[in-house]
A = this chain, B = another copy of it.
């Protein structure tokens, strides 16, 4: 089963919006064992949409069109599909009523153009809308109607809902494949991509002779370095069994470098480690300016662990609020004092501090990229110095995961 994706929207072509919908679809299709052929962006133009449909269906068994289903004059996907199928667009009274009810229930007047969304190419099957006003479409096409064009709205949560609820199951059914594909992502921190590769040389060689699962690396900035295992088997249970075996082998080689699985983040993992041990955390941030606190508090429930942060961007604030002594503020001593000060002032069990140089210029005779991390808590009192790559924002982001990774290691070791 080969699928291509056609993203419709002049704003995509002009780069005013980045097309992340297609990437999400590609990932979802792959996870269900469906091959992606190409993904195309095209502007709001009936002729070009039709032309692309024709070309894509030369090679693909199915095309998913995303976008152009809204109520305004530049939403042209319905018309393009109808012309491509050579059928008229007809008004669907049921859809019309659903849209009218939606406005009514919100107590809002319905602009008439919303009813454009209730027109459907003859012969198309409607994918009922559950979140927005525009329904999706399933349109049989080709000589024996064996091929298919799906249409979904460009609004991400509406698109995702229709993909998962209707389109993926329909594609899996059509593909008549008995294979299931399941991926598992191990998240690592503390080793470069080539370093991980080297450690996993033996595992990769074994995997290549076995054929499944496959293994791939994906560097993801302050999300860490991902190791993705993808298994193909006749059932989800069998995939899971494969993944369990190789997950264990990978961890056998990487040990503590693996900090989480799937949607885990370094923030959520550190918060959970603290929570389990009943420890609270206080931060002293200089170079990161609040970024560590911002990341930790993006996790719901962070308040169980994080008491707060003192962002001491100036030397006087470091001295007054964190009891840092006179001397250079990008230094081991300052990092140690900041961590102790945060612990004390915020009444936390653990103090974590970051001081360093994000650039654009040197500071206190320290090069851009220098980071000191101070950590104090029950059974530990340490300062680590590292040199991080990247320009200002990248350095600051890497500082966040670096510092939290150090805290995680201490919590595991002590």
Chain A positions within 8 Å of B, measured between CB atoms, are 11-20, 22-28, 30, 36-43, 48, 51-52, 55, 59, 216, 218, 228, 283, 285, 288-294, 296-298, 300, 302-303, 306-314, 316-317, 320-321, 345-347, 359-360, 392-393, 396
Contact = CB atoms under 8 A, between A and B. Distances in A.
23 contacts: A11-B218, A12-B26, A13-B26, A13-B38, A14-B30, A14-B36, A15-B23, A15-B24, A15-B25, A15-B27, A15-B30, A17-B23, A39-B41, A285-B293, A289-B306, A291-B294, A302-B313, A307-B316, A307-B317, A308-B311, A310-B310, A310-B321, A320-B347
A349 to B, nearest CB: 13
A20 B28 CA distance: 19
B314 A307 contact: yes
A303 B290 CA distance: 13
This chain: how many copies in the complex? Answer: 2
Contacts of A316: 307, 347
Contacts of A302: 289, 313
Contacts of A285: 290, 293
B312 A308 contact: yes
Given A289-B297, A290-B294, A26 B14 contact: yes
B16 A216 contact: yes
B289 A293 contact: yes
A85 B370 CA distance: 49
Contacts of A314: 303, 306-308
Contacts of A310: 308-311, 321
A315 B374 CA distance: 25
Interface of A is mostly: mixed
Contact of A297 (B42, B228, B290): B290
Contact of A293 (B303, B311, B321): B311
B14 A18 contact: no
A289, A302, A312, most chain B CB atoms within 10 A: A289
A17 to B, nearest CB: 7
B317 A313 contact: no
A117 to B, nearest CB: 18
A74 to B, nearest CB: 12
A13 B42 contact: no
A310 B183 CA distance: 42
Contacts of A16: 27, 216, 218, 228
Contact of A303 (B24, B52, B313): B313
A88 B297 CA distance: 57
Contacts of A294: 288-291, 293-294, 396
A22, A308, A309, A396, most chain B CB atoms within 10 A: A308
Given A23-B19, A39-B41, A216-B16, A311 B298 contact: no
A258 to B, nearest CB: 19
A291 B292 CA distance: 9
A16 B36 CA distance: 13
A356 B307 CA distance: 16
B15 A18 contact: no
A346 B303 CA distance: 23
B307 A309 contact: no
B41 A13 contact: no
Contacts of A347: 316-317, 320
A356 B14 CA distance: 37
A111 to B, nearest CB: 11
Contacts of A28: 15
A5 to B, nearest CB: 9
A22 B26 contact: no
A27 B14 contact: yes
B19 A15 contact: no
B300 A289 contact: no
